[in-house]
Amino acid sequence: MTKQTCPFYFSHVGGSGLLLLALLLALSPARPAAQLPGEGLFTIARVKYEGGGDWYSDPTSLPNLLQGLNERTNIRAADQEARVEILDEELFEYPFLYMTGHGVMRFSDAEVQRLRYHLIHGGFLWVDDNYGLDQYFRREIRKVFPEAELRELPFDHPIFHGPYSFPKGLPKIHEHDGEPPKGFGIHYDGKLVVFYTYSTDIGDGLEDGSVHNDPAEKREKALRMAINIVSYALSH
């Protein structure tokens, strides 16, 4: 993806090489989004990670989410997700990163430093546990933010209330062990930079209906919650 095809293109400025956010879209349903000449399309970057986990799982989930963003919000989204490795040069072109999977996740020292740099300079990471990722993600994200903890977000957090309201927090999509769904976050300098959805499988609910045979009600809840996550990330 190039500067012309991503509305959140990051650029290096000055000797420090800090990353700056170049543009924010208007997200309020009551207000039309700004249409700028040459403005491109937003997309979500699925992160390919090492360790053996299936980073590629739920392949229809992100295209369906992007379609939902186009149909229900003022975000102009691409048809397909991007796929990127943490050490890829183009990582910084994607402000919204997504990780999922069932198994082992492992970051190299270089990946730890680069992911941290991206997230503290404007990036946002949504990790959706596809059942089995939890222990590995917690281990790896602790390397990225050793000074911060994953903390459960309260039900009154804005991520649960716009544009759709979830007064009891995350919806439960798949049962697994029967634990209640929980949304955890990591903040840096007061800003939410990592959002972790646990014991719910939002990604499964975003997939085509024929994949998991989820009822329409659950798929609708998954889509609404995912739209909330993207909308929050792009407006805060």
pTM: 0.84
CA-to-CA separations, 195 to 31, 79, 191, in angstroms, rounded: 26, 23, 11
Beta-sheet strands, E only, within 102-205 = 124-129, 151-152, 182-188, 191-198
Q: Are strands 191-198 and 182-188 parallel, antiparallel or unpaired?
A: antiparallel
Fold assignment, 42-235: Rossmann fold (3.40.50)
Q: Which of 67, 112, 72, 122 is nearest to 92 (CA)?
A: 122
pLDDT per position as a tens digit, 16-56: 333 333 333 333 332 223 223 335 899 999 999 999 999 99
Distance of CA 83 to the CA centre of its chain: 13
Stretch 84-99: mean pLDDT, rounded? 97
- The candidate with the shortest Cα–Cα distance to 68, out of 236, 226, 233, is 226
Average pLDDT, the chain: 86
Structural domain spans, the chain: 42-235
* pLDDT tens string 188-225: 999 999 999 999 999 999 999 899 889 999 999 999 99
First and final C-alpha spacing in the chain:
23
Helix ranges, 145-215 (H): 202-206, 209-212
> Are 65 and 230 spatial neighbours (Cβ–Cβ below 8 Å)?
yes
